[in-house]
Amino acid sequence: MKTNSVIEKVLEQGGFVVTSECGPPRGADPEVVRRKGELLRGVVDGVNVTDNQTSVVRMSSLSACAILKGMGLEPILQMVCRDRNRIALQSDLLGAAALGINNVLCLSGDHQKFGDHPQGKNVYDIDSVQLIQTVARLRDEGKFLGGDEVKGRPMLFVGAAANPFADPFEIRAARLGKKVKAGCEFIQTQCIYNVERFTRWMEMVCERGLHERCGILAGVTPFKTAGMANYMKKNVPGMDVPDDMIARMKGVAKEKQAEEGIKICVETIERLREIPGVRGIHIMAIEWEEKVAEIVKAAGLLPRPEIQ
Residue 105 binding another protein, by CB under 8 A: no
Site for another protein in 266-295 (CB under 8 A): none
Site size toward another protein (CB under 8 A) is 36
In whole angstroms, what is the distance from residue 242 CA to residue 215 CA?
A: 26
Cβ neighbourhood burial of 146 (10 Å; 0-12, 13-18, 19+) = exposed
Determine which residue in the list 190, 199, 221, 268 makes contact with another protein, applying CB under 8 A.
190
Q: Is 237 in the site for another protein (CB under 8 A)?
A: yes
By the rule CB under 8 A, 175 interacts with another protein: yes
Minimum distance between the CB of residue 237 and another protein, rounded to whole angstroms?
4
Does position 150 interact with another protein (CB under 8 A)? The reply is no
Which of 44, 97, 161, 293 forms a contact with another protein (CB under 8 A)?
A: 161
Q: Does 238 bind another protein (CB under 8 A)?
A: yes
Does 134 sit near another protein (CB under 8 A)? yes
Residue 3 C-beta: closest distance to another protein, Å: 22
Minimum Å gap between C-beta 87 and another protein is 12
Query: Taking CA 265 as the corner, what is the angle to CA 263 and CA 267, rounded to the nearest 5 degrees?
Result: 70
Alpha helices in 56-104 (DSSP H): 61-70, 86-98
Residues from 52 through 81 that contact another protein (CB under 8 A): 81
> Which one, 55 or 257, has the nearer CB to another protein?
55
Rg of the Cα trace of the chain?
18
Residue 240 DSSP class: -
Residue 50 interacts with another protein (CB under 8 A): yes or no: no
Strand bridging mode 215-220 / 186-191: parallel
Residue selected from 56, 145, 150, 298 as contacting another protein according to rule CB under 8 A: 145
User: Could you say whether residue 213 binds another protein (CB under 8 A)?
Assistant: no
Distant-in-sequence contacts of 223-226, Cβ < 8 A, 24+ apart: 223/249, 223/257, 223/260, 223/261, 223/264, 223/265, 224/257, 224/258, 224/261, 224/288, 225/249, 225/254, 225/257, 225/258, 225/261, 226/250, 226/254, 226/257
Q: Where are the beta strands (DSSP E) in the chain?
A: 17-22, 46-49, 75-80, 103-107, 157-162, 186-191, 215-220, 278-283
Which residues are at the interface with another protein (CB under 8 A)?
Answer: 81-82, 86, 108-111, 113, 122, 124-130, 133-134, 145, 161-163, 166-168, 170-171, 174-175, 177-178, 181-182, 190, 237-238
